[in-house]
Amino acid sequence: MKFTYSTLIIFILFCACKNENKNNDISSKAVESTNVSPIVTIPDSVHFTSADLSNEIDLSKYGVPVLIMSPKNSRVIVDSVEHKIYVYANKHFIIETTIEKNNKTEDYISKLKSAAIDKSNFKDFVKLRDEVPCGFLAEYQNNNLRFIVGLQGKDGNSYMFTSGTGSKFWPSNVTDFSSTDLETMYVSGESAELK
């Protein structure tokens, strides 16, 4: 398997931890959905833990045949320009979903993990905090965490989940995610299952 342009983009997104984009405009190119009606805005002061992952979201109507757990009142935001799907609760919980066409998920994650723990790429790498066959949670200096989790679809595609790293379509500005935020999103990614 060779790295493609989209592989490079996912790796860059995986490595990014901070959003510098302060544009709050919801563009007409973004589509919003939710499992509840009406949309309930979760205050940005709220942080979540894995115990808060009580809402199952079905991403199949967005082309991703997956169910994923998220905090109550989370919603789906589709960025049709970047071809990304976000499960959004507030600025402390944003799962970015990408589709890697015709990829073997385990091999893909293995290559990303090799790059992520390579000290020649990331001198601040400390350790892998958790590892599953198709995902990992890596720790870097200053308790900085990064993760990616993948699922192999029946259609041959890989569905990747990582922390959202920046979109003009989000309703709030994003600050640095805390370790607890990232651990919670990692557990959410691990909860994903094929529909």
- Per-residue pLDDT reduced to its tens digit, 130-154: 999 899 999 998 888 899 999 999 9
In a domain, 51, yes or no: yes
Residue 124 main-chain phi, psi, to 5 deg: -90, 5
pLDDT value at residue 24: 33
Tokens representing 70 are: 């998220």
Domain-embedded: residue 19: no
How many domains is the chain partitioned into structurally? 1
The yes-or-no verdict on residue 93 having pLDDT over 50 is: yes
* Highest-scoring range by mean pLDDT, 48-62, 135-149, 164-178: 48-62
Query: Is 195's pLDDT higher than 50?
Result: yes
DSSP state of 191: H
List the domain range (segments joined by +) for residue 153.
5-11+25-194
CA–CA distance from 113 to each of 12, 24, 123 (Å)?
Answer: 13, 33, 14
Q: How far apart are the first and last CA of the chain?
A: 26
| Core vs surface per residue 103-137: b (16+ CB within 10 A) or e | bebeebbeebbeebbeeeebeebeeeeeeeebbbb
Residue 159 has pLDDT above 90, yes or no: yes
Task: Evaluate whether 60 touches 154 at the Cβ level (below 8 Å).
Answer: no
Q: Would residue 18 be called left, alpha or beta, if left means φ above 0 and alpha means ψ between -120 and 50 degrees?
A: beta
Looking at the predicted structure, is the pLDDT value of residue 91 above 70?
yes
Note whether residue 167 is domain-resident.
yes
Looking at residue 170, its pLDDT comes to 55
Please indicate, yes or no, if residue 172 is contained in any of the structural domains.
yes
Q: Note the pLDDT of residue 96.
A: 93
Model confidence pLDDT, tens digit, residues 100-121: 888 899 998 999 999 999 999 8
Contact assessment for residue 95 and residue 163, using Cβ atoms and an 8 Å cutoff: yes
* pLDDT > 90 in the chain, percent: 50
17 found inside a domain: no
pLDDT at position 23: 34
pLDDT average, residue stretch 177-188: 93
Between CA 148 and CA 125 the distance in angstroms is 15
Both tokens assigned to 155: 């259609």
Q: Which pLDDT band holds residue 172 (cuts at 50, 70, 90)?
A: low
